Chains A and B, each alone.
Chain A
């Protein structure tokens, strides 16, 4: 085994890890702000991918029914849907025990999953790469599809924009303050209910972006597709630290690289390896790599 063999696996792992980090970040923001573990996150992921599929293949709206159109429209639609779900279903249970919230989000997961199966059917649907990004680039140490390099670049830009938004804007400060101490923010006259509502929408919108970006990589959509990502995302946020921005991204990249390299070393242990890493990190540092609580 040489560096030239491992390096391509690392690059590939980072690419996949960035997408996972994006999806996990949505989950983490929601947990940080609302203290709700959103089991329905995987179903929002699947719903976003199916919405993009319909937009591209069936709606035929000029200028919108393209991959690029869906990359903008779908996160907005799913984000608004998230805001609605928070207002109607999640908010009334915010003051209740965690068990109720878990049951609620699990019910939303099942309803969305079955709803997808009813509307789009159970047969997997193909989702192709945009024609302008088809092809490969010779990176000298490996060849790599252009689309994946695009994903790498775009997720990097999204992370940078989100960091700026959370750290350098007023709303970002309020949001971070809300994560730290919601009651204090309320005392300062901030409408924390509205902030929570918008944060839930933002978390779900991030899933929307992740779903549209990953759909051409995974290639086909099925109603249960979100479950795989849900489990991986829980591992990522546990590893990176609950509620941590940095933790979700670094956790995502770590898991992506680990799985990718393990496929090279021992493919059968690839899935298992992420759980072992999580267990090791949590044993040594129960709040995760970057968690504060």
Chain B
């Protein structure tokens, strides 16, 4: 037995030595040739540092799908160079996002970086973008991303909380003018806090009373204690500023407790990706703030939805996909126009982008804070019997466009526009 074992080990050792030698010979012989064959085709990179797992993974995966779709359309090339997407999961942790962004920028030198969900992560990575001088599309909702904390390297398409809260709540109050008492549930993050503070200001203006503001952990699973409290306090309306799986669970439980039947409810954020995770009956009667919806009546949306459905077996795209697809198309269009992938050229090109036809119709890249200005929508959840197809969750009932910093003088963002000193 022992002799057999020794024999086997000897044969294995000989084979290992032979394999290693063969690899070395092949490496020495063909290595330079391999280098030559790749030298003709230079590869450039873009990167996505996103929450691809955890409570906001719905949104993260949508953003990734949109970028991949835009890459396919661009034939994975820009300015005659091969274009590759590098992805990293930031797990919604700002320190991890910072580390991964540094690692990706150092290793691949991407000419543009994308990051979407979680304001806390956005606020962290936009400072890294400034430090490493790499342009960034960053889609957290916190107002300060393109406000107090803005910088020349950071751009955003999603409406900031200010626009979302003002547009969304104003439209909600117009639809329900007699509401006087409110109960607010918010995520325990920068965006939830920012959104709630803006809503509080607006509710103060109309002398409404806020009975309670409760803060829940991200992706909270059980809201039943808040819901029994809502049933006891009997507010005129409920507002919830939660996102991702927290939003899904809360919508579902509001429906299970029968609260959405009795009380008008506004969810500051909504997304097709989130609706797909709910029982189809749950969103009925609830109002949702939306950056985009696939049935919007404009040329960009019709064209994008048709292309997407053709490529994805008839499935409708989400707002995250529309957002990242549009953002990457803008970046590539600027790169082709300025014939450069340098950060400075891309930033100056985007600052001069001006008005264009985008996902929500007429949109505008505002040069003084890099915030894209577009319509913000309010949708109302449909009853299952009224749905025409599976993803037909909402009727769009209102649209508004109330942005902060309406002129360079009012702006809390103070970088010099078109300054070439970047």
Binding site for B on A (CB under 8 A): 4-5, 8-9, 11-13, 15-16, 117, 122-126, 128-129, 134, 136, 142-145, 147-148, 217-220, 222-225, 228, 259-260, 263-264, 267-268, 270-271
Contact = CB atoms under 8 A, between A and B. Distances in A.
Contacts of A136: 256-258
Contact of A129 (B55, B216, B221, B279): B279
A143 B311 CA distance: 47
Task: Classify the secondary structure of A's interface with B.
Answer: helix
B355 to A, nearest CB: 35
A260 B58 contact: no
A242 to B, nearest CB: 26
Contacts of A271: 217
B67 interface: no
A37 B369 CA distance: 54
B226 interface: yes
Given A122-B52, A123-B58, A268-B215, A218 B229 contact: no
Task: Give the one of B214, B219, B232, B278 with max A CB within 10 A.
Answer: B232
B249 interface: yes
B249 A220 contact: yes
Contacts of A259: 225
Contacts of A123: 57-58, 61
B225 A219 contact: no
A21 B233 CA distance: 30
Contacts of B94: none
B245 interface: yes
B298 interface: no
Q: Which 6 A-B pairs have the closest CB atoms?
A: A122-B53, A218-B221, A8-B228, A263-B225, A219-B249, A267-B214
Interface residues of B, number: 36
Contacts of B58: 123-124
11 contacts: A4-B232, A8-B229, A16-B222, A122-B61, A124-B219, A136-B257, A143-B257, A219-B249, A222-B55, A224-B53, A271-B217
B257 A228 contact: no
Contacts of B244: 124
Contact of A126 (B52, B53, B232, B248): B248
Given A122-B53, A143-B258, A218-B249, A228 B229 contact: no
Contact of B221 (A228, A263, A268): A228
A142 B224 CA distance: 12
A16 B224 contact: yes
B422 interface: no
Given A124-B248, A145-B256, A223-B53, A5 B232 contact: yes
Contacts of B54: 122, 222, 224
Interface string B193-226: 0000000000000000000001111010110111
Contacts of B31: none
B253 interface: yes
A9 B277 contact: no
A12 B233 CA distance: 16
A128 to B, nearest CB: 5
B57 A122 contact: yes
A8 B55 CA distance: 28
A123 B252 CA distance: 17
A8 B228 CA distance: 6
B231 interface: yes
Contacts of B214: 263, 267
Nearest to A268: B215
B221 A225 contact: yes
A99 to B, nearest CB: 28
Nearest to A271: B217
Contact of B231 (A122, A142, A220, A260): A142
Task: Give the one of A15, A16, A219, A224 with max B CB within 10 A.
Answer: A219
B231 to A, nearest CB: 6
A126 B61 CA distance: 16
Contacts of B216: 267
Contacts of B248: 124, 126, 219-220
A98 B225 CA distance: 38
A222 B225 contact: no
Given A129-B279, A143-B257, A222-B245, A267 B221 contact: no
Interface in B261-290: 276-279
